[in-house]
Amino acid sequence: MFLTSPDIEIQDAFINPIDFEDVIAEPAGTHSFDGIWKASFTTFTVTKYWFYRLLSAIFGIPMALIWGIYFAILSFFHIWAVVPCIRSYLIEIQCIGRVYSIFVHTFCDPFYEAVGKMLSFIRVTVRKEA
């Protein structure tokens, strides 16, 4: 499945940008010479740009292969193991749920109803004594 342009924009919204000002920030009262600041900015930007390209060229394909295998395995187990186990559990738990419901309605409901009726006759009065 190929990503369309809006999907890529949404995906890029979660990437933290790393700009020169985010890494090298001079306080408002302290500034270096303009030439040094511009040279530092250019060095940082060009190094980041080309080093990212170099790493992408070296590790991009192997990492894509590794992540592709990982998500394929994850999808396989989710489709063929996790979901069937959960559905099987839900089918089996219905039987247990019915037995539990019968038990509660047969034994617990009358008990709690009787206790509730006994305790309903208790009256509490609060007086403030001066």
Banded pLDDT at 22 (limits 50, 70, 90):
low
Report residue 1 as tokens.
Answer: 């499945």
Mean pLDDT computed over 2-17 = 59
Q: Is 123 helix (H, G, I), strand (E, B) or coil?
A: coil
Q: pTM of the full predicted structure?
A: 0.51
pLDDT in tens, 43-83: 988 998 999 999 999 999 999 999 999 999 999 999 999 99
Task: Give DSSP secondary structure letters for 9-68.
Answer: HHHHTTSPP--HHHHS---TT----HHHHHHHHHHHHHHHHHHHHHHHHHHHHHHHHHHH
Give Cβ neighbours of residue 31 (< 8 Å, ≥ 6 apart): 37
Return the pLDDT at 108: 94
Give Cβ neighbours of residue 48 (< 8 Å, ≥ 6 apart): 18
Return the pLDDT at 3: 53
